[in-house]
Amino acid sequence: MPTPELTPVIIAVGEHVDRPDDPKAALEPLALMARALTAADADGGTGLLGRIETLDLVGLISWRYEDPAAALCGTLGIGASRATNASMGGETPIRLIH
């Protein structure tokens, strides 16, 4: 079990639902992630995005991006010192938290 100062804590959550009548108007995956992170920033009291040190992104099965984690950081102006693109897998999100 991690020591208290190393225990992961979720401090905010965000979601964006995108169901336009015209599928051509749907947001692409990177834009959806940016909207969800912006919602999480608001949920946490704003100002959290600018304090992100690490952004770990679970593997995508949708569009292909060269480096989606770096692109997401760029879209949101996040200066994370570490941005990684993880593999896909059912346990990947929990592994990234730990």
Q: Is residue 11 part of a domain?
A: no
Q: Is residue 5 part of a domain?
A: no
Q: Is residue 81 part of a domain?
A: yes
Residue 4 pLDDT > 70: yes
The mean pLDDT of 43-52, rounded to a whole number, is 90
Count of domains forming the chain = 1
Angle at 97 between CA 95 and CA 98, to 5 degrees: 65
| pLDDT of 67 strictly over 90 | yes
Residue 9: inside a domain, yes or no?
A: no
Query: What's this model's pTM, rounded to 2 decimal places?
Result: 0.85
> Is 4 within the bounds of a domain?
no
Please count the other Cβ atoms lying within 10 Å of the Cβ belonging to residue 81: 8
Q: Which domain holds residue 75?
A: 22-97
Q: Which pLDDT score is estimated for 1? A: 65
H helix intervals, the chain: 29-43, 68-76, 92-97
The pLDDT value given to residue 7: 83
Is 70 among the domain residues? yes
Q: Is residue 30 part of a domain?
A: yes
Which has the closest alpha carbon to 49: 71, 79, 70? 79
Name residue, tokens 């959550």: 13
Q: What is the mean pLDDT of residues 37-47?
A: 93
Taking alpha carbons only, the member of 88, 59, 72 closest to residue 31 is: 72
Euclidean distance between CA atoms 27 and 73, whole angstroms: 17
Average pLDDT of the chain to the nearest whole number: 91
